Structure 1
Amino acid sequence: MLLVPLPRLAILVALPLILAGCAGHGGGNYDETGEASFYGNRHAGKRTASGERYSPNLLTAAHRDLPLGSHARVTNLNNDRSVVVRINDRGPYTRGRIIDLSRKAAEAIGLTRSGTAPVRVQQLD
């Protein structure tokens, strides 16, 4: 029978999980295609996962996995327009979506009229 003190056992179990999470998208290797949408004005002023308040006038986005504070290039595959955004929130929570853009970022790539579009998301840092 293995007798390991509980705190040491917790570290031994948690460490591989933490390291696996850190290795997921580091180093700018995230490059995926999927559906994008944008935040409605009703979210203006609400706190994001980073702690800052959402502003529709900044080039920001929500992503489930990319590190908060990192940057990504988002390219609208319908018109080849792209924008660089800073990840400051978590989401999107709608099935099939990979990124939620601020209104300004959505305008930059021509997304506001359709509301959603196929995009390519590439991590920059």
Structure 2
Amino acid sequence: MKTLLKTSQYAFKIYIFLLALFVISCGSRNSASSSYRSTTVSYYADKFNGNRTASGETYRHSKLIGAHKSLSFGTRVEIVNVENDKSVIITVNDRGPLKPSREFDLSQGAFKKIADLNEGIVKVKYRILN
């Protein structure tokens, strides 16, 4: 009987240890998704102002929005210019960009928050907020 009791106590300790490992691994997975990734971004040309986006919204260059190839519409993303540390939070509401080297196309309003429009393309780091 004592052997059975010791075996079940041992099994319980292993169970708690494995449970703790699982909880820790879930936490580290979430923090990994909030880590920054690098890319370059550009902005929409004036000719798109007033057109419909892939989400059905009307594009307004003053809004803090952007396009991404696969992120769900409504996803919020923090984008930080690596040269000046200026940041902006955008909401994905369109598909694009067409250039494979870029992850996002930003509205002019969002781009202006992190860089001068004359720069056209800037190196950034970004993280998904939701």
TM range (shorter): 0.7 to 0.9
CA distance in 2, matches of 1:87, 1:112: 20
Identity of aligned residues (%): 34
Q: Which of the two has greater helix per residue?
A: 2
2:114 is aligned with what amino acid? I
Aligned to 1:65: 70
RMSD: 1.6
Aligned to 1:21: none
Cα deviation, residue 111, structure 1:
4.2
Cα deviation, residue 95, structure 1:
2.6
Q: 1:119 to 1:66 in 2, by over 3 A?
A: same
CA distance in 2, matches of 1:39, 1:89: 11
Q: What's the TM-score, normalizing by structure 1? A: 0.74
Runs of 4+ with >3 A deviation? none
Cα deviation, residue 67, structure 1:
1.1
| 1:106 and 2:129 aligned | no
Aligned to 1:33: 38
Aligned length: 99
The correspondence of residues 79-90 of structure 1 with structure 2, limited to 5 A, is 79-90=84-95
Q: 1:85 to 1:46 in 2, by over 3 A?
A: same
Larger radius of gyration: 2
